[in-house]
A and B are shown apart, each in its own frame.
Chain A
Amino acid sequence: AQTVTQSQPEMSVQEAETVTLSCTYDTSESDYYLFWYKQPPSRQMILVIRQEAYKQQNATENRFSVNFQKAAKSFSLKISDSQLGDAAMYFCAYRSARSGGSNYKLTFGKGTLLTVNP
């Protein structure tokens, strides 16, 4: 079974600075998806960024970018120019690209609580 590990329960960053959240995963598959979701105090989960394992290029969405290291099974999220609105719980998630049965589910890490200091 796949597992996702976020080793940093909490992180803090100064406004306008850069922070990197870590995520590692364990899988025997070669094709899969990786995601970062944000859960603000409102508690609604919002997709931040996604990465397909077959793509070598790291995904980028405005101030958010990832460092995807497939061999190391590492998927870190970098937030540049941090803003107060970035304060939230961040979850890393894995999904198999295979079809059928439980392959469709997302497996989540336990989350990293990010605090942004003004």
Chain B
Amino acid sequence: DGGITQSPKYLFRKEGQNVTLSCEQNLNHDAMYWYRQDPGQGLRLIYYSQIVNDFQKGDIAEGYSVSREKKESFPLTVTSAQKNPTAFYLCASSWGMNTGELFFGEGSRLTVL
């Protein structure tokens, strides 16, 4: 079945450590996105990528980094510079940038101890 796979689903991290969240899709979508979800805040865009080897900052990119070396993969690194990293992270993809609809993974819950 086609879809978006995020891993791990739950992750615990000590302060000062970097952590990478994986996002893989087999939908042959060109565009991929990372959103952060906090209670009462809705979803906020961290980074997005329209094509391989290209990505753009979203609204809250500080303290995060991404790469897009393959069409299928868009990993997100939460660095030690992110002041409040505990959150639920959602990866999404879309056919291109013109269809509007996003398909989402099941999310990753990051907790900083």
Contact = CB atoms under 8 A, between A and B. Distances in A.
Interface stretch (B70-78, B79-87, B99-107): B99-107
Interface string B95-113: 0011011111111000000
A62 interface: no
Interface stretch (A11-19, A67-75, A76-84, A95-103): A95-103
Contacts of A45: 90, 92, 102, 104
Nearest to A47: B101
Contacts of B41: 110
Interface residues of A, number: 25
Given A44-B104, A45-B90, A104-B48, A110 B97 contact: no
A32 to B, nearest CB: 9
B19 interface: no
A91 interface: yes
B98 A42 contact: no
A50 B101 contact: yes
Interface string B46-86: 00101000001010000000000000000000000000000
Contacts of B100: 33, 35, 50, 95, 97, 106
Nearest to A1: B59
A47 B107 CA distance: 15
Given A43-B106, A44-B106, A104 B43 contact: no
Interface string A34-46: 0100000011111
Nearest to A95: B100
Nearest to A106: B102
A44 B105 contact: yes
Closest 3 CB pairs of A and B: A33-B100, A45-B104, A104-B97
Interface of B: 31, 33, 35, 40-45, 48, 50, 56, 58, 88, 90, 92, 97-98, 100-107
